[in-house]
């Protein structure tokens, strides 16, 4: 391997090289030691040169994308915690009218130029205000959408509940002091209350679908790689997804069409997708128009729906939620779909494998800002604000202040990162990656015999905000246990998964309070449109707000 020129190269300080060699447990002769001082000095000269260069962050033209009224809302203007920051951003020359006039909330882990990104965290090391827009934001503006603010998200995007964000608790749109789910909590609430027309969420274990189910809206975790994740804070690249959250299925398809397709930057994506494969709105409209001329019991004829046995059989599945979801499945059958039971025996194990695969890379990417080995936009302007690591890169650590600013979910990821790094190294991550590949094959085998699988999105109704005694992490980490039982698997497998509302169920702690619940539809990869077709036909035939399921 070539090295940079050693002519006129700096000679690295001897003490620095001794510390490096000693820390690695190596021993070098004096002659070899001197060579390494020159070789590493030449490398450091090159490194210092590039660290001073402009790395071409995609700063938007302020004359084309107008930004006004950027401000932090007061408590009375936050829509009960839904908003983190308000603004008005629009394009002066949109490229299409796909989202013309639609108001949009952007989850607060997504870069919007000139607007702070909290990621649900206290600004321990200073506030981060990016100078560029995420690809999905640019695409929304180019489609005529109007960004009206950043939606609150949970602490470091690592909580499935909505009382952990630095910007404040986000209350369920149907009952104060109940969770919206997380981590896209603000996006779920703002769409449900009508504060915006549509919103973006991000999903690593259910963070779009859980708030969608608990807030009574439609949320899609698209096929992995369908939508670029460029300019968005992630958890782990192999499970990161960004997607639409809307009131209706058609609006969901509309927003997906605006943001989908390769951007040439994000290495999660195929280099090419046929333009026709990205026409979700016309595909859905044509399907619904064809069904309009048929008897209602024939509109889903030819579709085969697999009811996932394990998705309904989990020990945490609430009987009222199961009843609502089975009623929705019966509704699909009444529309002409063939309904069969299917089984993936390792469904629960796949969720556990997702959990065990996450710490090694998730700790590095999400908490320590180590995204090396990726081909993507690196958010270098965030710098130390992302992860004020202490010590050499191989032993990177969070400062006490940053650790203390994390919610129990974030602290749990960090502690598991430390533990798994010390005890297992890469072996546990590698093993779980292979197990998740086997699980993907098991779901693929089922989806080869049916068009979609269905199951409850969240096994139980929205929980009330906890009244926890003490300051330990155990209670907050276990009170929402099971919320990702049916969602996290599909972040690892990459299948598209759509949650849509199918009725109300009683709150577990107060039967007088009725809360939304959702059915999840999972399809083959890059067959997101089939999820829309099935959900939209059910939506057209049912008013979910009139459906109440009790014991």
Pairing of strands 146-151, 83-91: antiparallel
Name the residue among 212, 211, 232 with its Cα closest to residue 159.
211
CA gap 435, 257 in Å, rounded: 33
Instruction: Report, in this order, helix, strand and coil percent for the chain, each rounded to 5.
Output: 40, 20, 45
> What distances in angstroms separate CA 94 from CA 39, 138, 180, one per listed residue?
52, 10, 33
The continuous run of DSSP H or E covering 513 comes out as: strand 510-523
How many Cβ atoms sit within 10 Å of the Cβ of residue 69? Answer: 10
CA gap 458, 456 in Å, rounded: 6
The continuous run of DSSP H or E covering 65 comes out as: strand 65-71
CA gap 302, 63 in Å, rounded: 51
The continuous run of DSSP H or E covering 489 comes out as: helix 489-493
Q: What is the DSSP letter of 366?
A: I
> What distances in angstroms separate CA 202 from CA 106, 149, 151, 291, one per listed residue?
10, 16, 11, 32
Pairing of strands 171-172, 146-151: unpaired
How many Cβ atoms sit within 10 Å of the Cβ of residue 243? Answer: 30
The burial of 543, by beta-carbon neighbours within 10 Å (0-12 exposed, 13-18 middle, 19 or more buried), is given as: exposed
Report residue 471 as tokens: 């300051």
Dihedral of CA atoms 478, 479, 484, 485 in degrees, nearest 10, equals 80
How many Cβ atoms sit within 10 Å of the Cβ of residue 534? Answer: 27
| Residue 148, SS3 per DSSP | strand
Q: Map tokens 């090419």 to a residue.
A: 272
CA gap 276, 292 in Å, rounded: 23
Q: Map tokens 């089922």 to a residue.
A: 446
> Which residues are designated catalytic?
107, 183, 207
Q: Map tokens 């959702």 to a residue.
A: 518
């Amino acid at each position: 391997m070539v090295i940079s020129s050693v002519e006129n190269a700096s000679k690295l300080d001897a003490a620095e090289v001794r510390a490096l060699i000693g820390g690695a447990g190596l021993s070098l002769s004096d002659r070899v030691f001197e060579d390494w001082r020159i070789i590493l000095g030449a490398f450091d000269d090159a490194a210092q040169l590039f660290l001073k260069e402009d790395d071409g962050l995609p700063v938007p033209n302020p004359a084309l994308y107008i930004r006004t009224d950027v401000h932090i809302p007061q408590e009375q203007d936050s829509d009960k915690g839904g908003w983190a920051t308000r603004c008005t951003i629009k394009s002066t020359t949109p490229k299409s009218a796909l989202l013309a006039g639609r108001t949009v909330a952007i989850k607060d882990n997504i870069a919007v130029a000139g607007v702070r990104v909290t990621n649900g965290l206290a600004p321990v090391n200073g506030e981060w205000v990016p100078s560029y827009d995420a690809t999905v934001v640019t695409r929304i503006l180019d489609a005529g959408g109007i960004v009206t603010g950043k939606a609150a998200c949970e602490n470091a995007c690592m909580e499935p509940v909505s009382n952990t964000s630095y910007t404040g608790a986000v209350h369920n749109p149907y009952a104060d002091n109940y969770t919206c789910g997380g981590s896209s909590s603000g996006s779920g609430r703002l769409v449900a209350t009508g504060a915006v027309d549509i919103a973006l969420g991000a999903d690593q274990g259910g963070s779009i679908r859980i708030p969608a189910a608990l807030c009574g809206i439609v949320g899609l975790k698209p096929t992995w790689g369908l939508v670029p994740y460029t300019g968005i804070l992630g958890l782990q690249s192999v499970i990161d997804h960004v997607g639409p959250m809307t009131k209706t299925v058609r609006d969901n398809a509309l927003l997906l069409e605006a943001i989908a397709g390769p951007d040439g930057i994000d290495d999660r994506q195929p280099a090419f997708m046929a333009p026709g494969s990205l026409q979700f709105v016309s595909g859905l409209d044509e399907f619904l128009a064809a069904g309009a001329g048929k008897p209602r019991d024939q509109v889903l004829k030819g579709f085969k729906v697999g009811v996932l046995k394990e998705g309904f059989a989990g020990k945490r599945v609430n009987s009222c939620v199961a009843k609502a979801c089975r009623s929705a499945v019966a509704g699909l059958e009444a529309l002409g779909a063939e309904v069969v039971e299917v089984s993936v025996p390792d469904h629960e194990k796949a969720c556990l494998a997702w959990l065990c695969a996450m710490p090694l890379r998730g700790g590095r990417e999400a908490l320590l800002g180590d995204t090396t080995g990726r081909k993507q936009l690196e958010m270098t302007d965030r710098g130390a604000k992302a992860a004020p690591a202490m010590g050499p890169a191989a032993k990177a650590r969070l400062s006490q202040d940053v650790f203390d600013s994390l919610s129990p979910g974030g602290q749990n990821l960090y502690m598991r990162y430390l533990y798994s790094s010390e005890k297992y190294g890469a072996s546990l991550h590698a093993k779980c990656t292979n197990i998740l590949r086997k699980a993907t094959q098991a779901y693929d085998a089922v989806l080869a015999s049916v068009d979609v699988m269905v199951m409850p999105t969240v096994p139980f109704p929205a929980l009330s905000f906890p009244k926890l005694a003490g300051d330990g992490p155990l209670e907050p980490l276990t009170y929402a246990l099971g919320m990702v039982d049916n969602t996290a698997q599909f972040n690892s497998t990459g299948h598209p998964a759509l949650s849509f509302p199918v009725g109300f169920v009683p709150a577990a702690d107060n039967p007088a309070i009725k809360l939304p619940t959702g059915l999840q539809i999972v399809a083959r990869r890059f067959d997101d449109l089939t999820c829309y077709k099935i959900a939209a036909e059910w939506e057209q035939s049912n008013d979910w707000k009139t459906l109440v399921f009790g014991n």
